[in-house]
Amino acid sequence: MENISRKKFIASAALAAAGLPFGLSALAKEATPYPGEFAGNPSPDEKIKLSIFSKHMHWLNYTDMAALTAQLGFDGIDLTVRPDGHVLPERVADDLPKAVEAIEKAGLKVYTIVTNIKTPDEKDTELILKTASALGIKYYRTAWFNYDKTISIQANIKAINKQLASLANLNKKYGMHGGYQNHSGDLFGASQWDLWLSLEGLDPKNIGCQYDVRHATTEGADTWPVTLDLLKAYSKTVNVKDFYWEKKGDKWQVKSVPLGEGMVDFKKYFSLLKQYNINGPMSLHCEYPLGGAEDGARKLTISKEEFSAALKKDLVKLRGWLAEHDL
């Protein structure tokens, strides 16, 4: 016992409470037990930490993914902890510590995870949050919600408000923030107004939005700044990607493209992030053709070098914008 620091002992106790195996070297991490309140807000002058969405690296194991991500120049990895992700929910107690250990050995951090969590009483929900919190992870993305077409929009909003409130209570227990991504299409939250209404009365420290400017632009090319204003207090994390509308035959469709090649007004976006002091973790999504990586493929049809060059190009562009806006 003399050789174990007090902090490491506390971390071991916290991880044991999460049901994690004692044999993992993650127990030696200087983590803290569940804080009971959200402690993830960065200081006002802290710069945004950039992560790569690990869906694009499903073709790599933890160690190789971490090595490539560090080589490219990211700060961290936005790790998939969901079915068909890097960490399967049913294996979270065993595999999330292993993933975090590999990532931190490469000099990176796991600032955020992407989950399929909808409610507190789903299988694996609490264990995912226990494990993540014990490892020092403060932010997760929830699953998307579908509208119940058998009831009114207003009734949907009330029902989802209750659903989010129950998640917020569990998040508070583990000092975490759950962010709902506003995803375009026939999903709840696509318009963003409905998401804002569903968050009424809930503490932004525990529940809110992972604001996606690409999807917000898809749904409202000129009006997305209004919804960012509405959701600013709830947007603890954000993600970035680009697109434009393309006509094929007689139909218009979204075409995903590298950053700066589409119609997202990043100059306006980053100026608003600065104005609203939104400086939490940011995740880069690459949904344009990338040898299958855009869809989470386990094997790519392009070379590692081609993949790396594409991500590096996006990252350089993104870091330039952040520097320009002192973010």
Helix (H) or strand (E) holding 114: strand 109-114
User: 320, 322, 323, 312: which is closest to 52 by C-alpha?
Assistant: 312
Give the residues across from 248 on adjacent strands: 251
Mean pLDDT in residue range 141-166: 96
Total-model pTM = 0.89
310 phi-psi bin (left φ>0, alpha ψ -120 to 50, beta other): alpha
**pLDDT on residue 65:** 98
What is the homologous superfamily of the domain 6-324 according to CATH?
A: Divalent-metal-dependent TIM barrel enzymes (3.20.20.150)
Domain ranges in the chain are 6-324
- If you search the block for the tokens 């409470």, which residue do you land on? 17
Tell me how long the chain is: 327
CA–CA gap between residue 284 and residue 74 (Å, rounded): 10
Q: How confident is the model at residue 44 (pLDDT cuts 50, 70, 90)?
A: confident
| pLDDT of 12 above 70 | no
pLDDT in tens, 125-137: 999 999 999 999 9
Give the residues across from 109 on adjacent strands: 76
CA–CA gap between residue 161 and residue 152 (Å, rounded): 14
| pLDDT of 5 above 50 | no
**pLDDT on residue 26:** 42
CA–CA gap between residue 284 and residue 56 (Å, rounded): 10
**pLDDT on residue 144:** 94
**Contact, 59 vs 47, CB < 8 A?**
no
3-state secondary structure of 69: helix
**Contact, 107 vs 69, CB < 8 A?**
no
Mean pLDDT in residue range 194-203: 96
R_g over Cα of the chain: 19
**pLDDT on residue 10:** 41
Burial string for 31-44 (b: 16+ CB within 10 Å, else e) reads bebbeeebebebee
CA–CA gap between residue 42 and residue 53 (Å, rounded): 20
Q: Residues 6 or more apart from 323 whose CB is under 8 A from it?
A: none
Mean pLDDT in residue range 94-114: 98
Q: Which amino acid is at 185?
A: G
The DSSP secondary-structure symbol of 67 reads H
pLDDT in tens, 215-244: 999 999 999 999 999 999 999 999 999 999
**pLDDT on residue 42:** 81
pLDDT in tens, 269-306: 999 999 999 999 999 999 999 999 999 999 999 999 99
User: 202, 179, 187, 201: which is closest to 156 by C-alpha?
Assistant: 187
**pLDDT on residue 54:** 98
| pLDDT of 25 above 60 | no
CA distances to 101, 112, 136 from 195, rounded to whole Å, are 35, 21, 27
Q: How confident is the model at residue 70 (pLDDT cuts 50, 70, 90)?
A: very high
**pLDDT on residue 31:** 46
The DSSP secondary-structure symbol of 87 reads B
**Contact, 145 vs 106, CB < 8 A?**
no
**pLDDT on residue 6:** 36
Q: How confident is the model at residue 24 (pLDDT cuts 50, 70, 90)?
A: very low
Mean pLDDT in residue range 99-126: 97
Backbone phi, then psi, for 82, in 5-degree steps?
Answer: -160, 170
Q: How confident is the model at residue 30 (pLDDT cuts 50, 70, 90)?
A: very low
The DSSP secondary-structure symbol of 200 reads T
Mean pLDDT in residue range 203-208: 96
Mean pLDDT in residue range 82-104: 97
CA–CA gap between residue 257 and residue 246 (Å, rounded): 11
CA–CA gap between residue 302 and residue 4 (Å, rounded): 47
What value does the mean pLDDT of the chain take?
Answer: 90
| pLDDT of 260 above 80 | yes
pLDDT higher for 29 or 156?
156
